[in-house]
A and B are shown apart, each in its own frame.
Chain A
Amino acid sequence: MAQVELRQVRKTYPNGAEAIFGVDMQIADGELIVFVGPSGCGKSTLLRMVAGLESVTSGEISIGDRVINDVSPSQRDVAMVFQNYALYPHMTVRGNMSYGLKNRKMPADEIERRIVDAAKMLKIDQFLDRQPNQLSGGQRQRVAMGRAIVRNPQVFLFDEPLSNLDAKLRVQMRIEIKKLQRSMNVTSIYVTHDQTEAMTLADRLAVINEGQVEQMGAPMELYSNPRTLFVASFIGAPQINLIPVTFDGTHLVNGDIKLAGYSRLPTDAPLVLGVRPDVLSLRDDGQFPVSVDLVEQHGGENLIYGSLAGAHSDTGESQEICLKAGQELLPDMDDRLTLGFNPDESFVFRADTGERLK
């Protein structure tokens, strides 16, 4: 059990490419932190630096009280679950789980005890003598977790562990990982590009973009209080509606649309209005006249996609808009709806820097 601390961590590759630009982070003991971001943002690199699979160019990483920059991966007391599981294909499940312990010269009876415990916990005890190619994807996933658990590490590292599973299994494993992490209470770092996975798993989320942490906090905090345009657009499904606007001193303007209720915004810069699909609702006095293009029925809720009459997107095409509504609202194509929202529940960002102004 330990807290993990990153201090001004940077990564520059030998060819000069910069991957991580000074990350500071403190992860509390027993906490589950999720690194989330688009592919290539550096989230995996950061995780692999904690694991010791990538060198640290500058800055410090410590686990507990120990700075581990120059400690070899196997001495860091961390365990990792890989995206493609990285099971040793020629070893049985037992062999896979025991290999690391044998390398540490642990006594055989202790190894066996740990394997049996972990296998029971993961419900793979009946597969211990099978080889990975005789297991299903979900079972392999469990073995990969088992291999991490038996080492009894101070920190668990997960590198997109669910991305090779089908959708249903992914949800199921997600829940199990969360439960397991709760019951074992081991500090964990989990990397994913899937925002749903990130929201549901994390104690705290770190949204990473272009080698920097854009914002870190509890999932709902990031959802309802994003610090940047990037965070607002990355977190939340369906995605937040983003409408390019300008401020004329009293109103936000895009074409025929004029929105009241905003003040103290710059008049000389392009802005972006962000409205989440679930804060929009059908209102007679609403601000948005919308013509319906498509309705997706998800069962308990309907997602209504339409275009905002009188407004244009950045590219000059019609501005699309999405509304999350109950199952009773089922308009036809080309129906006209009037949607409204409370300005206090919307966000305004600078278009150029992405900084949130309201």
Chain B
Amino acid sequence: MKRVQFEHSAVPYLFIAPQIIIIVIFFLWPAAQAIYQSFLLEDAFGLSSQFVWFRNYSDTIFNPSWLQAAWFTIIFSSLVTFLSLSIALLLAVKANEVIHGASTYKTLLMWAYAIAPPVAGLMGNLMFNPLIGDLYQGMNAIGFDFDHKLDPVDASFVVILISVWKQVSVNFIFFLSGLQGIPKSVQEAATMDCDSSFRRFWTITFPLLAPTTFFLMVINITYAFFETFGIIDTTTQGAPGGATTTLVFKVFQDGFRGADIGGSSAQSVVLMIMVLLLTVIQFRFIEKKVHY
């Protein structure tokens, strides 16, 4: 809050109105609709509907395909988050060390930020295409019985690889700027106190990066939940047998392909609750845990 503020009756409302109007029409109203519809059961033609309390929820959540998707989402998000953060941290630490060519490395490592997930998905899909994809052939040549069209593990591998690839650059940018934000004098003091650069990293640098890491964890989980939709939609489309279906992909599938409005809405509401939890955790932690 500013020490001094304008005090006017109407002016601030005019300034804030555009955003609020759009939010009410395109965010709050649809969200309320989703919640409302999650309690309704519609007939196949959408002509009549009936209030069914939590039946859509119980139908959804105890459905094996939803549980499978939930399970996959958890594993998928953890792996994508962990792998893309680790790779990015390694690269950022190394890029922070070099003097010569630092900006070239930086550019090459961050530019993939600009690539859309579905574009990355299609690119990866083509690389793994059995007809032409060297990666597909390469995997088989080195002894894997690789077939991402049929094998759930192989399919997950493809989706995770592409998702990690797409996310490394964002994490890299943040880690590098976090590293550069650590005062030089702190680094120098640490150098005088501790000989091993490895130890120095884990005892000084990494703890100082904690806020960045934590923030990135939330960002990455959100990314793995939502933005990977474009990657999955252009690679496996949830196949084989729903093995690479995330919760978001399933909402889309059931809602648009399956036209199960009630069930899809119930899934949406469950997702809303998950996002809410993520946000609460984010704010809780950012207040407490973080050093500076």
Contact = CB atoms under 8 A, between A and B. Distances in A.
Contacts of A53: 3-4
Contacts, number: 3
A2 B54 CA distance: 75
Nearest to B4: A53
Interface string B1-25: 0011000000000000000000000
Contacts of B4: 53-54
Question: B interface, by DSSP: helix, strand, loop or mixed?
Answer: loop
A53 B4 CA distance: 7
B38 to A, nearest CB: 43
A39 to B, nearest CB: 16
Contacts of A54: 4
Interface string A50-61: 000110000000
A36 B3 CA distance: 22
Contacts of B3: 53
A53 B6 CA distance: 10
Interface string B239-255: 00000000000000000
Interface bracket on B: under 10
A78 to B, nearest CB: 15
Nearest to B3: A53
A54 B7 CA distance: 12
Nearest to A73: B4
A36 to B, nearest CB: 22
A53 B3 CA distance: 9
A303 to B, nearest CB: 34
A90 B154 CA distance: 57
A54 B4 CA distance: 7
A160 to B, nearest CB: 15
Nearest to B7: A55
Nearest to A52: B4
A103 to B, nearest CB: 15
A14 to B, nearest CB: 11
A54 B3 CA distance: 9
B123 to A, nearest CB: 43
A236 to B, nearest CB: 33
A223 to B, nearest CB: 34
A11 B266 CA distance: 55
Interface in A42-76: 53-54
A53 B7 CA distance: 12
A54 to B, nearest CB: 8
A238 B3 CA distance: 36
B264 to A, nearest CB: 48
A80 to B, nearest CB: 12
A337 to B, nearest CB: 44
Interface string B154-187: 0000000000000000000000000000000000
Interface string A285-326: 000000000000000000000000000000000000000000
Interface in B1-53: 3-4
A345 to B, nearest CB: 45
A339 B4 CA distance: 54
A12 to B, nearest CB: 16
A181 to B, nearest CB: 26
A330 B3 CA distance: 52
A112 B114 CA distance: 50
Interface in A246-285: none
A11 to B, nearest CB: 13
A1 to B, nearest CB: 28
Interface of A: 53-54
3 contacts: A53-B3, A53-B4, A54-B4
| Closest 3 pairs (CB-CB, A-B) | A53-B4, A54-B4, A53-B3
